[in-house]
Amino acid sequence: MRVTDAVGRYGEQVAVTHLEAAGMTVVARNWRCAAPVRGELDVVVRDGDALVAVEVKTRRCGPTGTPAAGHPFEAVTPVKAARVRRLLVAFADATGERAGSLRVDAVAVLRPTRGPALVEHLRGVA
């Protein structure tokens, strides 16, 4: 297992714990789609009547407390967010999940060298 894979899995678990604590219900994790939109949804949750795809980005922090690769939200570009939204539509179609609305959120997990992870949650990025 690569270090980046382990960091990503850690971040997803931290994100799921955060989302559940916020009252959301996990519907799926690491859902993959080959067609019509190729890709993977990190986490899909229900938030009330909304079906939400959550893009999780995790970064390790250096000794100064900042991530060397930049803030995780910098990786959630408008193009990426639009792709995740298309994947969410494909997920709803493939699974039969119905919702009053569809939403894309992003969760940033910063893993410092010591102490608990820092979690930031942006709702409605697409």
Report the pLDDT averaged over residues 72-93: 95
| CA–CA separation, 98 and 26 (whole Å) | 14
Look up the domain containing 30 and give its range. Answer: 3-122
Confidence band, pLDDT 50/70/90 cuts, at residue 119:
very high
| CA–CA separation, 100 and 98 (whole Å) | 7
pLDDT above 70 coverage of the chain, percent: 94
Confidence band, pLDDT 50/70/90 cuts, at residue 1:
low
Q: Using the predicted structure, report yes or no on whether residue 32 has a pLDDT greater than 90.
A: yes
- Token readout for 24 is 């959301």
Query: Which residues, at least 6 apart from 39, have a Cβ–Cβ distance to it below 8 Å?
Result: 32, 33, 83, 84, 87
Domain count, the chain: 1
| CA–CA separation, 51 and 97 (whole Å) | 8
SS3 100: coil
What is the residue type of 95? T
Q: What is the pLDDT of residues 100-111, one digit of tens each?
A: 999 999 999 998
Identify the residue with better confidence: 57 or 70.
57
Q: What is the pLDDT of residues 39-48, one digit of tens each?
A: 999 999 999 9
Q: What is the CATH number of the domain that holds 95?
A: 3.40.1350.10
